[in-house]
Amino acid sequence: MDEFELIDRYFSGRGARRGDVPLGIGDDAAVLAPPAGRELLLTTDTLVAGRHFPADGFPPDAIGHRALAVNLSDIAAMGGTPAWALLAIVLPQADEAWLASFAEGFSALAERFDVALVGGNVARGPLSITVTAAGFAPQGQALTRRGAQAGDALVVTGALGGGAAGLRAFFQGAAVQAAPVRAYAHPEPRVQAGRSLLSRAHAAIDISDGLLGDLGKLLYAAEGLGAELEAQALPLAPGASREDALGPSDDYELLAAVPEREMPAVEASLEGPLFTRIGRVTPTSGIRLDGRPLAGAGFRHFA
Amino acid sequence: MDEFELIDRYFSGRGARRGDVPLGIGDDAAVLAPPAGRELLLTTDTLVAGRHFPADGFPPDAIGHRALAVNLSDIAAMGGTPAWALLAIVLPQADEAWLASFAEGFSALAERFDVALVGGNVARGPLSITVTAAGFAPQGQALTRRGAQAGDALVVTGALGGGAAGLRAFFQGAAVQAAPVRAYAHPEPRVQAGRSLLSRAHAAIDISDGLLGDLGKLLYAAEGLGAELEAQALPLAPGASREDALGPSDDYELLAAVPEREMPAVEASLEGPLFTRIGRVTPTSGIRLDGRPLAGAGFRHFA
């Protein structure tokens, strides 16, 4: 079975059916109809076996879910609505059971977020998956990392440290269906939360490299500012320590800087306690936890 | 140096500067402004070391060129005008000399085709490069693989077999600057040729898997039709045999099915003999060369 047949069998027509896809997978390129008056968001992210997910024993459907989820999380962090995805798989052999399971995990998430799979590539090599996701945002309103102001509240979605705790549980032998591992294996892109921050937050980012690492990037983009975090306020995922919540953890929650005047609207915008206030932006640089200085440190891919 | 710094140093602001890029590399996603009334083309393609380019001794700038070129070739095959690209690199270590050279080759081609690099990802792992390219085509006019009709002339751009001949020369020790290797290392995306086929060709495809393989796909999409090729008419690249021209060869030329009435316009549309007529579409299935039946066989990635 060649690449052409593999894509045809496992990926053609997967994900959502959308009216803005005149031509999907199967030609040299997809033909798409972006909506008038909105900006297009594009992002790409790679998962490498043994680095971004366990090389052994990790189920292909979870790899499929994660590969799409980390990209939808980037669209969510911009306040966007996802629409289309392209999928490039490098895998050692044409393992049909693997591909069927991978496609299932990918497609289930895509359908849930109304994302059409419009492009695919399969090549032979060491396992890695690169997804490109596209979405839309209202003209001139996409949230960026830049723009946090002193006095802004810092809020996060969901709970933190679940990625680190889940991965640890997996390596300790917990089943993939067990709650902590599931949080790692099936992160939920915070698309609705991101949209609710549009025209309210000053800045937003997704927490893919750990809270301190990504908060550091938000502050780097707001030159000279710092942050004060409250340890008690950090929402910890089941099984997660405070160190898990602060350090490198594949959580894919959102972190946003929200002016106080918008906080009531943000807190009222979603059902349940999805947003948690964890601190505030300060006029002086550096990150402090309960008043003690911390050094920002993210996931240093090449450290 | 972490991923953030690597991207910032080698890839931020590379390629063309375009007015339709409100926000490029450096945030969770790029923010882009597609033109009104045109369709968006999206494609993704991966190059794996040792499979899509030589693992040893192949210059990084040529890898950068090829990684973008194969994607621009897909946009060209749809008759599109390229605009934006995203680049996901997996590499074993943060080799700065490698990255600088790679970025140079990628950027030089991007600038020449007015393509802005709007997204980047660098991860550690076995060397592979995945590029996503975006372009535009007039509403409803993008060329597809489907639509060839019996009697259409089959035309190709440039010369065939140069990829296979160049790779052979490389492994025989020829310098990368030598003409045959250069054809392999620096394929030229046929963007202008693709645009000149808009509203003229019935169908088009880029020859990435060899003439017979890709002609086979064109005919597969035009169920039941076949083709008659003339051996004497095949434009051979320097150093290429007829077998190189027919079989798997990374040529990235375009193959199109053009109705006879449009042939004068197609032949007049470009300076120089860029298009060569190599045969015609026949009402009966199968591919014949000078009247003898051939089996179609492309680059079977997983055969």
Domains detected in chain B:
3-138 (3.30.1330.10), 153-294 (3.90.650.10)
List helix spans (H) across A114-201. Answer: 162-171, 179-185, 191-197
- Of B48, B73, B87, nearest to A124 by CB-CB distance is B48
Closest partner CB to A48 (pick from B44, B93, B124) = B124
**pLDDT 10s digits, A84-112:** 999 999 999 989 999 999 999 999 999 99
Average pLDDT of the segment spanning B280-298: 85
DSSP one-letter string for B25-36: BTBSSEEE-PPT
Give the bridge partners for B275, in sequence order: B157
Beta bridge partners of B202: none
**8 A C-beta contact, residue A289 and residue A232:** no
Distance CA A41, CA B31 (A): 5
Record: contact A30-B43, CB cut-off 8 A: yes
Around Cβ A210, how many Cβ atoms within 10 Å? 26
The one-letter amino acid at A161 = G
pLDDT for B270 beyond 80 = no
Measuring CA to CA, how many Å separate A106 from each of A92, A129, A254? 19, 11, 21
**Residue A128 and residue B128: Cβ atoms within 8 Å?**
yes
Task: Write out pLDDT tens, residues A285-299.
Answer: 999 999 999 864 443
Transcribe A15-36 into DSSP letters.
B---TT-SB-BTBSSEEE-PPT
Please state, in angstroms and as integers, the Cα–Cα distance from residue A266 to each residue in A80, A188, A197, A236, A271, following that order. Answer: 16, 19, 7, 21, 11
Structure tokens at A14: 């997967």
Kindly indicate whether the ipTM for this predicted assembly is greater than 0.85, answering yes or no: yes
Which of A135, A73, A88, A82 lies closest to A110 in space, CA to CA?
Answer: A82
**Residue B199 to residue B266: CA distance in whole angstroms:** 10
Contacts of A120 in chain B (CB under 8 A): 44
Decide if pLDDT at A225 tops 50: yes
Give the percent of chain A with pLDDT over 70. 96
pTM: 0.94
Strand order in the sheet with A153-157: A203-207, A253-258, A153-157, A275-282, A226-229, A286-289, A292-294
Kindly report, residue by residue over B19-64, the tens digit of the pLDDT: 999 999 999 999 999 999 999 999 999 999 999 999 999 999 999 9
Nearest neighbour of A31 by CB, restricted to B41, B87, B122: B41
Q: Which residues contact B80 (CB under 8 A, 6 or more apart)?
A: A29, B41, B135, B136, B137, B142, B191, B194, B195
**What burial letters (b/e) apply to A144-162, b meaning 16+ CB within 10 Å?**
bbeebeeebbbbbbbbbbb
Per the CB < 8 A criterion, the answer to whether A209 and A250 are in contact is no
Measured CA to CA, the distance from residue A241 to residue A246 in angstroms comes to 9
Q: Give yes or no for a contact between A145 and B27, defined as CB atoms under 8 angstroms apart.
A: yes
Nearest-Cα residue of chain A relative to residue B48: A125
CB contact under 8 A, A121 and B130: yes
Local structure of residue B231 (DSSP, 8 states): G
